[in-house]
Amino acid sequence: MRNQLTYVLLILCLFAGSMFVALPIDHPVWLEEGLAPGPDTQRDIRELTLGLDLKGGTQVLLEAEITEDQPLPEDALNSAKIIVEQRVNGLGLAEPTVQLQGETRMIVELPGVKNPDQAIETIRSTGQLEFVDLGGLPVRPDDFINTTNRPNAVAALQEAIDAGEAAPQSIPFPEDLFETIMTGDILQAVVATQDEYSFWQIQFDLKSESSGDFFTYTRDNIGEVLAIVLDGRVLSTPVINAAINDNGVITGNFSQDEAESLAIQMRYGALPIPLEVVDVRTIGASLGQDSIDRSLQAGIVGGALVLIFMVLLYRLPGFLATVALAIYVTLNLAMYKLLPVTLTLPGIAGFILSIGMAVDANILIFERMKEELRSGRSLRLAVETGFSRAWPAIRDGNLSTLISCAVLYWFGNNFGASVVKGFAITLSVGVLLSMFTAVFVTRTFMRSFLSGQGEKLLSSRGLLGY
């Protein structure tokens, strides 16, 4: 009796804790700091993390541009992911997501983005900024040029020379190779601002260790053109009017979005590898809210029908199972916040399917228990035998489901199918929790009733549903 009371208290404490996490309320700072991905940060867990199909936004699938004879450098994709995360955070979006998919792909989710095209360009652009000496040659803004800092262009030029292709018409790029004086690595702080005429410009500060070299060059080349080049495209061709010591300004025909995008790219540095946009999906916010509303309606109706079915068919055990099911739902919601799990429409489908599996586990147990009661066993023995005989079927069925979830997760993680991955995560979490609630929670409740009523319940066949 004392052991059963202890178990019931533990279950109630677990239910209260999961309810506290699941409710959309303010949580203690220590909890949000403990769940944060890094030090000195917090993670807001008031609301569930919703996927783009539920709250609207844009999903971009990027792939590293590599050739067969050019293997992907070690950790290059991880480094690119960090830079992309910094750029995405610089856009000021709420809860953006950047995930690696396989060995060469990356998924970026941008919830609530207003200008998807500009955001995509901000993310995928290599962002290699160069200060280039034009050597007196006529170059205009928006022209594409080859520089000494772009190894692919230099390698292509050398390959053409080695092959003896000296004729200008046989070389598929400009023959002029311009000298890179400095790169964007010398920049320390970059911000997009407006000048006194309301034209957008980029203000930058130089790192102290690089300012001396830049000062020397600009001092010795006053009156010369110093082109500012991004990813091979000339942004502007300003004339050096004075020596630049520790800060400067980049001007051009920038819109606000272009200036802010360029500032973000310059601020966080160049990508170590070029990224190609493979797929783009955009979902409206109104469609996402409609999906949430319909999912809630379906969940409420389906849950009510399941509860009615369980109580009508199994009476007291069915009622105890519905209480365990309520605990199960609360535990799931709490786990979604703690892990965290990004909830999508397929994820909701996985959650609802796991509820059905939790109910199925209880049905297996109660049917076994009915068989034992009909054969004349005592109530206590029928309960224990029902649980023990149903356990192998529950275990094997859930184990096979978990194996399927592992395969689906691997597929989604390696082939960019995030919807499949979300389904696998919610279903696997639900299956694990369903085994806990069906085998431990429901069993504890049944044993507690037996401790209080004992064999008196046998006289009420209607109460036990057999």
Top mean-pLDDT range of 30-34, 370-374, 394-398, 448-452: 394-398
Distance CA 345, CA 289 (A): 11
pLDDT of residue 461: 62
pLDDT of residue 171: 37
Backbone angles phi, psi at 408, to 5 degrees: -65, -40
pLDDT of residue 462: 62
Shortest CA distance to 205 belongs to which of 263, 150, 147?
263
The alpha carbon torsion through 101, 106, 109, 115 (nearest 10 deg) reads -160
Q: Which domains does the chain have, with CATH numbers?
A: 2-37+284-464 (1.20.1640.10), 57-123 (3.30.70.3400), 126-270 (3.30.1360.200)
Strands 146-147 and 177-183: parallel
* 284-327 pLDDT, tens digit each: 766 667 777 887 888 888 888 888 988 888 888 888 889 999 99
CB atoms within 10 A of CB 223: 7
Say yes or no to pLDDT of 151 above 90: no
pLDDT of residue 162: 57
Say yes or no to pLDDT of 454 above 60: no
pLDDT of residue 170: 36
Q: What is the pTM of this model?
A: 0.67
Distance CA 91, CA 193 (A): 16
Band of pLDDT at residue 173, cut at 50, 70 and 90:
very low
pLDDT of residue 154: 46
Mean pLDDT of the region 331-356: 89
| Percent over 70 (pLDDT), the chain | 87
pLDDT of residue 72: 78
* 43-94 pLDDT, tens digit each: 777 888 887 777 788 889 999 987 777 777 778 888 888 888 888 877 777 6
* 90-144 pLDDT, tens digit each: 777 766 788 888 788 898 988 878 788 888 888 888 778 899 999 888 888 888 8
What is the rounded average pLDDT for all residues in the chain? 82
